[in-house]
Amino acid sequence: MRNLLTTLRVSFLLMLSLPALKVSAQTNYGTLTNASLSSRVFSNLELFFDSQSQHGFFESPAGSGKSAIFASSFWLGGLDNSNVLHVSQQTYAQAGDQNFYPGPLDTLNATAAVPALWNHVWCLTKAQVQYHITNWNQPWYVMPTDIETWPGNAPVGSSYNQVLAPFYDSNMNSIYEPALGEYPVFPGDVAAYFIANDNYAAPQNGTPSMKTEYHVLAYMYNSADVAVSNTVFVKLQMKNFSGQDYHDVYFSNWTDFDLGNAADDHVGTDVGQSMVYVVNGDPNDEGSNCYGYNAPACGLKFLNTSISHSMYYYNINNDTLKGNPVLGEDFYHLLKSEWMNGQHMTYGNAGFDLVGTNCNYAFPGLTDPAFPGNDWTMASAGVVPDDWRILGTVGPFDLLAGGVKTFEMAYVVSYGSNGTLSSLGQLLTDAQHIQDLYNGSALTINDIEHHNLMVKSSLTGSTVEIVCPDDMKGKKIALKIFDVTGQEVLVSNYSSVDLLSVDVSNLSAGMYIVSLSDGNKNYTSKIICQ
């Protein structure tokens, strides 16, 4: 007789009935679409902007041809122990600007993977994963490519981190095995995942790279909650592979909103919400595929940390004070709310008065706690609507060798009922709502439900007793047991039982996966025979 150890760590997996969602994955991008919004993310750490077609993809409403964001990416800068400046940044991933490339970094020497081998965004829907969970052991099942190739593990023999993308590990061996029913883990109803780095080529800003690796998960919900359905969530995890510590590090989300017509925007900051945003700077967002007289407002907010700075600049080349940055020092100044000559931004007017009070937030309205009761916006300052860029920045902080930082963000688009100001008011309401949901863990948990399947051992040790889930009671149930290779080793059928008693005396010592199915739902757990 063998004793049976119980209590399995896995879970019951419930197949939910959901509205269909669109998903696509091309060579270097993935498209996230629900009924409200459609967006693209790219494998070179570029969000929404296709550097080849020169087109922005943050379509709101979905299918309208109107875009609320043109491009978004990330900036990172800091000093090493010798106070040498390192900057890794990107705006449009074009010649002279691309500093991020697809793929991970080697853990031994921080060399980069060949971009072509990782030039892919894995895109999946919750429904696809749930279908996989229910049917992975069916002989007719055809596994989606992005489940089969999900980068749960690095290639055998490589020196990359061996566990790369998150997955449900049913047998806890740290090996992604979708043929055994394991599956990618992500929140939301549709998600895109990719890995990038900043060390494939020398930075084009004149400074050394940070030698960092980035794991990016973008996701959306198909929700009756209007604010949630109008939001793209992004979780970015970065790791320092340089072998050296950095200090005075700043991380920023850089966004060129271009709300409809790119030339009539106003940008601003809500300090309390850790959000930078755009509104139409005049009553009419004129032009083809633009929003007209009731344009939305759009914001980028940090969910898991507070911004310390925000900064804007002009879309002007050859302006070394307030135009487009070129050198690493230019980008680092902007990260610190400084103009490119090192002059700190000042509160009021356009922010670059020679005599004025230094500030860290661009156009915060009434939200900057350092200036209570003072209302500073582009509109109140008389700044002409134009094509502005804006940064939402976190720092300074230390980034130690091997250190990991995670930033969770939300791109929110909101529609008011009566023009620009009402849209901004709705955005502030929606952004706070998103933050409240996030704080309550409603948006960060794995959206595929997990419940423990109750498994007991008998007194004799030769049988295992499984408590029938409530929603399977009274039904015909098929029980299957698989070994760790996926080989089916036992099949039994039951009808209208509360407790399933299974003879396991013929099973060899080891770990097994138990599957219960009523034809619609599939529950799995794990048992260990000794």
pLDDT in tens, 244-261: 999 999 999 999 999 999
pLDDT of 484? 64
Confidence (pTM):
0.84
Beta carbons of 234 and 411 less than 8 angstroms apart: yes
CA angle 176, 178, 179 (to 5 degrees): 125
Tally of CB atoms within 10 A around 492: 13
Residue 341 CB burial class (10 angstroms; 0-12, 13-18, ≥19): exposed
**263 DSSP assignment:** G
Domains of the chain in start order, with CATH, are: 4-15+449-529 (2.60.40.3080), 23-439 (no CATH)
Instruction: Give the span between the Cα atoms of 465 and 456, in whole angstroms.
Output: 5
Q: Which two tokens stand for residue 257?
A: 């909103």
Q: What is the mean pLDDT of the chain?
A: 88
Q: Which of 274-278, 294-298, 467-471 has the lowest mean pLDDT?
A: 467-471
Residue 264 has what DSSP assignment? G
**Contact present, 242 and 82 (Cβ < 8 Å):** no
| Alpha helix positions (H), 34-179 | 115-118, 126-135, 145-148
Q: In this model, does residue 458 exceed pLDDT 90?
A: no
Determine the average pLDDT of the residues in 5-9.
26
User: Cα–Cα distance between 414 and 233 in angstroms, integer?
Assistant: 15
The count of other CB atoms within 10 Å of the CB of residue 384 is 11
Query: How far, CA to CA in Å, does 175 sit from each of 51, 97, 150, 481?
Result: 35, 37, 12, 20
Nearest alpha carbon to residue 412 among 275, 217, 530, 291:
275
**Gap between the Cα atoms of 261 and 243, Å rounded:** 45
pLDDT, one tens digit per residue, over 437-456 is 999 876 654 445 444 566 66
pLDDT number for residue 499: 83
Q: How confident is the model at residue 241 (pLDDT cuts 50, 70, 90)?
A: very high
Give 107's pLDDT tier (boundaries 50, 70, 90). very high
Burial class (CB within 10 angstroms; exposed 0-12, middle 13-18, buried 19+) of 210: buried
Half-sphere exposure of 305 (CA within 13 A, CB side): 18
Tokens at 100, concatenated: 């991020």
- From the list 184, 192, 187, the residue with the least C-alpha distance to 163 is 184
The pLDDT of residue 284: 94
Q: Are strands 388-399 and 275-280 parallel, antiparallel or unpaired?
A: unpaired
Whether residue 514 contacts residue 479, with contact meaning beta carbons closer than 8 Å, is answered with yes
Query: Tell me, what's the pLDDT at 520?
Result: 66
Kindly indicate the confidence band of residue 485, based on its pLDDT and cuts at 50, 70 and 90: low
Other Cβ atoms less than 10 A from the Cβ of 308: the count is 21
pLDDT, mean of residues 386-397: 97
The rounded distance, in Å, linking the Cα atoms of 306 and 450 is 32
Separation CA 301–CA 409 (nearest Å)? 6
Q: Is the pLDDT of residue 460 over 70?
A: no
Both tokens assigned to 9: 């760590």
Mean pLDDT of the region 125-133: 91
Q: pLDDT at residue 16 above 80?
A: no
> What would you report as the CA-atom Rg of the chain, rounded to the nearest whole angstrom?
26
Torsion of CA 436, 438, 441, 444, to 10 degrees: 170
- Which amino acid is located at 298 in the chain? C
Say how many residues make up the chain: 530
User: Is 297 within 8 Å of 279 (Cβ atoms)?
Assistant: yes
Torsion angles phi and psi, residue 237, rounded to 5:
-115, 125
Distances (CA, A) of 397 to 77, 247, 455: 10, 6, 48
- The residue type found at 26 is Q
Closest CA to 267 of 348, 378, 174: 378
